[in-house]
Structures are given as C-alpha cells and as structure tokens.
Homo-oligomer: A and B are copies of this chain.
Amino acid sequence: MSDHRPILLANRAFYVAFGSADFAAMDALWAQRSPVSCVHPGWGALFGREQVMRSWKAILGNARPTDIVFSNPAVQRLEDIALVLCTERVFASELCATNTFVLEDGAWKMVHHHASPVTTSEPRHIVTMPVGLN
C-alpha cells in the first residue's frame, strides 16, 4: 500500500484538477517527455501532448465545472508504469477509468486516460487488488 501511495496521490491530483477546472494543474500532471494519449467518454483516441491538452482546455473551459468524484482506485503496477483503474461519478453518471502513469524524474506523471460509461450490471468493481486512498 505505502508503495502505491505516490501513484494514488497522482491519480487523486488528476481528479482534483479535473473537478476544479484547473488547467495549469492538469497540464502539469501530464508527462512532459513520454508520449501521451487520451480517450474521453464517447470519443476516439487523441494522441500527443498538443491534442490532449487542447481537449482538456476545452473541457475545463466549460461554463459549468465538471461535477466529478472518483472511488475504488486500484493500482496495477508494471515496472515504472502504473495503471490506476477507478470509478468516476460525473454529473450522477457512472464511468470506469483507466489512468496510466509513468515515473518521470521521480514523479508519477499521466501518460494516458481512458474513461467510459458503465451501462451494464455485469460484475464490476470486483477489486481483488490493494485499494487505497481516495
């Protein structure tokens, strides 16, 4: 768990930036050197820092800030890469997110975000891995 704490904090920072529409914070938490990509709910894939950050600028620039909370983060560690899967609740809709982070200069930086609506009652959130702070 303590091993995963910095990763979970990076994941939380993403949702804090998202929910508070803080573009500077959002920009800072994405990787600078590693390639990045993003799949917003219902969208196709965006590649590269320019396109990804342009999408965040548009989303965070909405007149109405996004009402978003996350829960049940689970860390999947792969060497110096970490996936955090978690549940998002956005304006009362439930989504499932995969957030991928890489270690850059000792800090966990986001390289990929993929969020999609949960529409079935199939088994979900069957978290068998260590979960951590929200």
Q: Which A positions have Cβ atoms within 8 angstroms of B?
A: 34-37, 39-48, 51, 55, 74, 76-81, 83, 85-87, 94, 96, 98, 100, 102, 111-112, 114-120, 122-129
Contacts of A83 in B (CB 8 A): 37, 100, 112
- Whole-angstrom CA separation of A90 from B46 in the bound complex: 21
* Residue ID in chain B nearest A131 by CB atoms: B47
The number of times this chain is found in the oligomer is: 2
Selected A-B contacts with CB under 8 Å, 20 pairs: A35-B77, A39-B116, A40-B122, A41-B116, A42-B119, A43-B118, A43-B122, A44-B96, A44-B125, A45-B126, A46-B123, A46-B124, A47-B126, A48-B129, A51-B123, A76-B111, A78-B102, A83-B112, A98-B114, A116-B117
